[in-house]
Amino acid sequence: MADKKSGANLWDIFLQFLIIGAISFGGGIIAYERILLVEKRKWLNADEFMAYLAISQTMPGLNSVNLAVLTGDFLRGVAGSVCAVLGLLLPGSAFILGIGILYSSNSNHPMANIILAGIAAAATGLLAAITYRIGGDHWRHMKSLAIVLATFVLMSLFKLSLLAVLAIMAPIALYLYRPGKSI
């Protein structure tokens, strides 16, 4: 994987990630990125894509952004990374900033508050659904379910800081999942 592919030009990297950043309403960015990288431009093969996705998921930060960082670097080094991330973030940032300015000036409007209450309720339902789906098999295995529950209790009921929760849970989980241990 170490050899850089020279075929991709920076403008194209920026433009292709910009398109993903603009059309990915409702999530699913990883899927769009896979279509771009593996099928549309064939910049990566399926194995390379999975390897980069795995690193993206291991490192802190948003998986879709980390994937843009890694594949941009693979294609064109630092400049490739910067182009991919800027493209991915630009459309959504403009959208959010526009709405943010509207929200700041209208947030006490009674009608706006009713609409926002409905939107917030749905966003909660959406987050619950995503959490359930991402949880996948972790809801069924005793070991991972215990870690899920312990993390939730420390964070939400004991109200520890995130740093403290990670300092407690990460070593325990890493010990339980150390190489050679099954899931």
Partner 1 sequence: MNILIQLGLNFVLLSLLAVGGGTAVLPEMQSILYAHFGLDHTQFVHMYSIGQLAPGPNMLMVLMIGYQIAGLAGAGIVLLAFFLPSSILCFYVGRLWVRIGESPWRRAVQNALEPISVGLMASGVYAVGKASIVSPLTAGLALITLYLILRTKINPVIVILGSGLVATLITQFL
Which 139-168 positions form the footprint of partner 1 (CB under 8 A)? Answer: 144-145, 147-152, 155-156, 159, 161-163, 165-166
Residue 108 makes contact with partner 1 by CB under 8 A: no
Q: CA separation (Å) from 157 to 125, 127, 132?
A: 21, 19, 20
Closest by CA to 151, choosing from 86, 138, 107, is 138
Query: Is position 10 an interface residue for partner 1 (rule: CB under 8 A)?
Result: no
Q: From the list 31, 93, 106, 109, which residue makes contact with partner 1 (rule: CB under 8 A)? A: 93
C-beta separation of 33 from 67 below 8 A: yes
Using CB under 8 A, pick the residue from 37, 52, 75, 83 that binds partner 1. 52
Q: Check residue 7 for interaction with partner 1 (CB under 8 A).
A: no
Question: d(Cα 56, Cα 65) in Å, to the nearest integer?
Answer: 8
**Binding test (CB under 8 A) with partner 1, winner from 21, 33, 36, 43:** 21
